[in-house]
Amino acid sequence: MIAIWLAGLVRRRPGTLAGVAVGVAVAVALLAALGSFLAGSKATMTSRAVHGIAVDWQVEVQRGADPAAVLSATRSAPGVRTALPVTFAPVSSFGATVDGATQTTGAGVVLGLPDNYATTFPGELRTLSGSGGGALLAQQTASNLHAVPGSSVTVSRPGLPPLTERVAGVTDLPQANSLFQKVGAAPQSQPIAPPDNVLLLPADEFARAFPPSSDGAGGVTTQIHVARSHALTPDPAAAFTQVTAAAHNLEAQLTGGGLVGDNLGAALDAARGDALYAQVLFLFLGTPGAALAALLTATVAGTGQVRRRREQALLRARGATPRALLALAAVEAVAIGLTGAVAGLAGAALLGKAAFGSAWFGASPGRAAPWLAVAVLAGLGVAAATVLLPARRSLRATVAAGRATVGRTRSPMWTRYGLDLILLAAAALVVKATSGVNYALVLAPEGVTSISVNYWAFLGPALFWIGSGLLIWRITNLALNRGRPLVARLLRPLAGPLAGTAASTLRRQRPLIARAVVLTALAVAFATSTAVFNATYRTQAEVDARLTNGADVTVTEPPGAPVPPSAAAQLQVVPGVARAEPLQHRFAYVGADLQDL
């Protein structure tokens, strides 16, 4: 019976079924595309946040604890790939005599680094001139002392005689803020800036220069620098929870012997803020589109309401029970939902392939699968709401009652209470309240960027959308009802002597026409707002890229790698590249200062 019923539907009502399936497919495609893009974006945020960290953890050995025991416990912690000890010692000053002039700095810091530190943590040091081994001066320190590779620097040690070191090279510390952080302190308690005067020594030279007996108040401290496995959950929020839980677990195992400076967790914390922003965009770009598709589907399905009542009456006359009629409607809803879901997933895959070169917008199939499942369930829900629920309501009425319902043209109750005007007034009040507080999505308190989402800022546009839709319905209904003579005159060039009859027909069908006008207006508004957002977002992204990178895209060779002369020419032929310019970055002394060229 079910197969016969479905075959009859396909033969007798192919247009209505196709229209409902297309509406379901649009909703599924929109949710699947945006959900897959969100999953891929989250994974990209996580990988980029992890990639930018040179030292994942800095475990600071507490006073009285054994550094060797802390190092052993850290290396045995789950997820730790490697760990190296780094020692810090404050000094009173640095001094150097260059070309007969003596320069002296203020207080500074001397670091003791293992021999393989630069290769283990390649992002922490960058050699500017001279050798990468031996005694290294930080760039600013070299500028303050007018020192170059080969110069002799005198280090004033508290409680010890001065120490003289021969400079082997000048280095840059790209992540000095995290390197010299105050481990365990709140963000607002961190140093305003890293020290300007820094000398880096090999670990054995540091041990001779600062023997353990010199350790006292404000003396030598030891940190264990850790590189962790970056096999993390793609979601930044879940990865943040995973990393911070591991850091707390290590601190508990150390039982007060060490504090963990979680650089990786801090980067993931910022990334999860970006992921929250992406979720907000998904919510307020995807939800209106899916809702609009559902309303369109309901309108298309509603056109066959009279025919459905007649079919139900005929089946009841032949002995069909209400339960059997509901079962047939459920089968119809499932068939339409599955057809629309398959078409929607195919459409989303084609769109992703065309726009991103990937069927699921850069996300792996495993990451996109949950969103695809949600999209399919939403499609089935739309089919059930537009097919099954109307069929259930029709069963509660007789054929005569159904015909009476068709002829009823009374306006909905909300028009008598002015719900549309109330919503528009509320939208104006909310917009005025939220726009008068200088709200900004991205904040920078004390130079630390953070994200703050004020969800009240989205309430005004949401109320405006709903109120505008209801107001359009009211205006269309009034125009077709009380403006019948005007409608007849407007139709006369097309309908001729039948203009009055056509106007009367429109007046009788004004609820259906009003719904169509509202859907058309909302569809145009949604497409326009999305197009404007896409254009402005793309332009702002290009501006941000040029401000941050100096160009739309930068291709950087690793330090020390030979740059082929034809590198720019090779990039020039890449599809989409309008122009490629080579740029060399060097450091040189300009007067007494070491500057970038």
Q: How far apart are CA 255 and CA 263, in angstroms?
A: 21
pLDDT at residue 217, as a whole number: 42
Say if CB 334 and CB 377 are below 8 A apart: no
What CA–CA distance (Å, rounded) separates 173 from 101? 27
Residue 587 has pLDDT above 90, yes or no: no
- At 414, phi and psi to the nearest 5? -65, -25
Query: Smallest Cα–Cα separation from 233: which of 371, 121, 79?
Result: 79
Instruction: Work out the average pLDDT over 315-338.
Output: 78
**Amino acid 450: pLDDT:** 52
Compute the half-sphere exposure of residue 504: CA atoms within 13 Å on the CB side of its CA: 6
User: Would the pLDDT of 386 be above 50?
Assistant: yes
Per-residue pLDDT, 113: 93
Query: Which residue, 116, 114, 79, is CA-closest to 222?
Result: 114
Amino acid code (one letter) for 384: A
Q: In terms of Cα–Cα distance, which of 257, 292, 85 is closest to 184?
A: 257
At residue 588, the pLDDT reads 67
> Band of the pLDDT at 439, cuts 50, 70, 90?
low
Alpha-carbon span 3 to 418, nearest angstrom = 48
This model's pTM is above 0.85: no
Per-residue pLDDT band at 69 (split at 50, 70, 90): very high
Triad 284, 290, 294: Cα angle to 5°: 145
pLDDT for 483: 80
* Three-state secondary-structure class, residue 546: helix
Mean pLDDT lowest for which of 153-167, 235-249, 581-595? Answer: 581-595
Give mean pLDDT, residues 137-165: 89
Query: What single-letter amino acid sits at 341?
Result: A
Q: Quick one: pLDDT at residue 314?
A: 74
pLDDT of residue 95: 92
Instruction: Tell me the torsion sign for CA atoms 113, 119, 120, 124.
Output: positive
Q: Is the pLDDT of residue 78 over 60?
A: yes
pLDDT at 195 over 70: yes
| CB 362, CB 37: distance < 8 Å | yes
Helix H or strand E segment including 278: helix 263-302
User: Which carries the bigger pLDDT value, residue 400 or residue 43?
Assistant: 43
Quick one: which of 213, 272, 221 has its CA closest to 242? 272
Give the number of other CB atoms < 10 A from CB of residue 321: 10
Rg over alpha carbons for the chain, rounded to the nearest Å, is 35
> Which residues lie below 8 Å from residue 505, measured CB to CB, with a gap of 6+?
none
Is the pLDDT at 402 greater than 60? The verdict is: no
User: Do residues 296 and 37 make contact, with C-beta atoms less than 8 angstroms apart?
Assistant: no
| 443-496 pLDDT tens trace | 444 444 455 566 677 788 888 888 988 899 888 888 888 887 887 888 788 878
Which tokens is 235 given?
A: 């979601």
347 vs 17: CA distance, rounded Å = 18
The set of residues, in sequence order, having a beta carbon less than 8 Å from that of 293 and lying 6+ positions away, is 23, 24, 26, 27, 30, 382
Question: What confidence score (pLDDT) does residue 397 get?
Answer: 57
Q: Which residue has the higher pLDDT, 30 or 5?
A: 30
* Residue 431 contacts residue 460 (beta carbons within 8 Å): yes
pLDDT at position 537 is 82
Strongest mean pLDDT among 419-433, 447-461, 495-509, 546-560: 419-433
DSSP readout, 39-92? HHHHHHHHHHHHHT-S-SEEEEEPTTS-HHHHHHHHHTSTTEEEEEEEEEEEES
Looking at the predicted structure, is the pLDDT value of residue 72 above 90? yes
Predicted confidence at residue 565, as pLDDT, reads: 67
What is the overall mean pLDDT for the chain? 81
**What is the reported pLDDT for 213?**
60
Pairing state between β 450-451 and 587-590: unpaired
580 pLDDT higher than 60: yes
- When pLDDT is cut at 50, 70 and 90, the band that residue 153 belongs to is very high
